[in-house]
Structure 1
């Protein structure tokens, strides 16, 4: 039922030219809600884009850091806002995971409309330098030969890197212990001491330690090479279906007129094609996307369904 509703809306958006039926939108400043603290990666991306989008829309675009409850407070603010396109949400692909781990005050698929995926990045698998493996294939072979002896960190139970680890464990039939840490920086001393054997985190988080030789990067959680670590194995090319990419997505409230959704997406897509914007996004470790609402919705639905299955199959529960 929900999928049919989303697809019906997507068809309406794609069939309506952005110049039609949007009226005088926007009639006042647009609020871009970021449900995370200022200074983080999603906040920096939002501010980079807001500065340029407001020139396209002819109205100020104000970034509103509405934090709390792991992003739920800001998301709820958009769900409760008038569905007129003047309140938008920048969220991450973790929104496809959180409904499976805790009860939310909103229904992701019923209350929000995907506008576009802003940017994407895979996650990187790194190992301590003393671990006797030099490739992803050797890592899998070592894990198979030493079941339950390797310990790998992520930045939390149910996080995208944790699910990436579970997908690899499932696909390769290996047993690796998961150890949640609050951040990669907190995991580094354990990697140096040998208490941890590996970690999965964002490429920009691990890059300084890779460059100084503290850890080695063996793979990325994608099907294709990633520009920051071009020699790292795309792990999903060895085990299809295990790709996990972090997306930054733009949402509007359910009921937002399709023409307005189309206009917003068109303007964001134009900005994301700007060479300077692409350069700055890549410096943050992201690849710009800017896809249409149907593609964004289908990608989100796919992740929502497969992450839900994985969480149930592996018995993952929030801490």
Structure 2
């Protein structure tokens, strides 16, 4: 620096000279601009949320996922100090809601709550977006296994009796789920393949529609959620013989985990929170942190358990890994079975 100033021609016009003080001022100004530019995004994230949050649910009001969404919205509203508006956008097994989130601003003010159907639907029918690229997992809110229930008209009272009956009567058992490619349908297909069983899949639009046929014996069995079948099992109008969870469920005593006989058959549906890809990680972490706290609340745990869900609340990275694993696992099965939407 000294040598440079020694070479400055003293005859140079004063207005063209650059004193040391001026160069230093410009240098400090440039550093300040860079520093502020780095701070501004962080300052914006620190102010999140700046307006009401839209929590989009891809299923109708009153369903289990809608109930959980409203429980969480109620809990998080005072924490974020902003209204959290639950917006139901049912249709195409959650695809409509997911697409609207994927096309929203990547600022954390539009949040999606959906189910495992998110990563199954693209394998069944063409999707307008890629869930693995266009959405980012924040956390899994809850897990729920499925229950295999049978008609009281059948001489089946246990899982072993079910398997024995199916093997002795190939093609005679008809089993309902709530749709082709749905998680319970995939669980049924895994079970059939593992046990080499010939059981006919009979899709119904809902368990409520299948129940009368199940009770009368027109339908042999059904795979559905604990919330849907529990009251009818307790009433004795249907029998629970197996569950798709890795372990037994206390609410269904005597129902064996299918994995106890077929280790590879363990299916638990998840409910998860997602935002658009590109949402700043600081915002994702903030949403995750508050959700995890809420899911540790004893009151929330009880309210969710009462409707058949086990709270999870894992990290964004752990949730993303489960989503990826399920996407690949279900995709391989769907391609093998050549399933297509009806």
Q: RMSD value over aligned CA atoms? A: 1.5
Q: Which residue of 2 aligns with 1:285?
A: 308
Separation of aligned partners in 2, 1:238 and 1:200: 17
Q: Which residue of 2 aligns with 1:221?
A: 244
Is the contact made by 2:152 and 2:217 (CA closer than 8 Å) also made in structure 1? Answer: no
* Secondary structure of 1:250 counterpart: strand
Q: Which residue of 2 aligns with 1:187?
A: 210
Q: Does 1:244 align with 2:298?
A: no
Q: Which structure has the larger Rg? A: 2
**Quick one: which of 127, 140, 145 aligns to 1:122?**
145
Q: Which residue of 1 aligns with 2:124?
A: 101
* Secondary structure of 1:222 counterpart: coil
Is the contact made by 1:128 and 1:191 (CA closer than 8 Å) also made in structure 2? Answer: yes
Separation of aligned partners in 2, 1:279 and 1:230: 20
Q: Which residue of 1 aligns with 2:5?
A: none
Matches within 5 A, 1:116-155: 116-155=139-178
CA deviation profile, 1:165-189 (whole Å, cap 9, x unmatched): 1000011111100001111121122
Deviation at 1:20, TM superposition (A): 8.8
TM-score, length of structure 1 as denominator length: 0.91
The runs of at least 4 aligned residues of structure 1 exceeding 6 Å deviation read: none
CA deviation profile, 1:59-105 (whole Å, cap 9, x unmatched): 22111112333322221111111101111000101112101001111
TM-score, length of structure 2 as denominator length: 0.85
Separation of aligned partners in 2, 1:304 and 1:287: 21
Q: Does 1:68 align with 2:104?
A: no
Q: Which residue of 2 aligns with 1:28?
A: 51
For structure 1, the 5+ residue unaligned runs are 1-18
Separation of aligned partners in 2, 1:263 and 1:20: 14
Deviation at 1:223, TM superposition (A): 0.8
* Secondary structure of 1:316 counterpart: coil
**Quick one: which of 217, 233, 239 aligns to 1:210?**
233
Separation of aligned partners in 1, 2:198 and 2:137: 36
Q: Which residue of 2 aligns with 1:15?
A: none
Q: Does 1:264 align with 2:287?
A: yes
Separation of aligned partners in 1, 2:105 and 2:43: 20
**Quick one: which of 174, 194, 200 aligns to 1:171?**
194
Higher relative contact order, chain-length normalized (CA < 8 Å, sep 6+): 1
Separation of aligned partners in 1, 2:69 and 2:214: 33
Separation of aligned partners in 1, 2:96 and 2:171: 38
Is the contact made by 1:22 and 1:263 (CA closer than 8 Å) also made in structure 2? Answer: no
Is the contact made by 2:56 and 2:89 (CA closer than 8 Å) also made in structure 1? Answer: yes
Q: Which residue of 2 aligns with 1:7?
A: none
Is the contact made by 1:222 and 1:237 (CA closer than 8 Å) also made in structure 2? Answer: no
Deviation at 1:21, TM superposition (A): 7.7
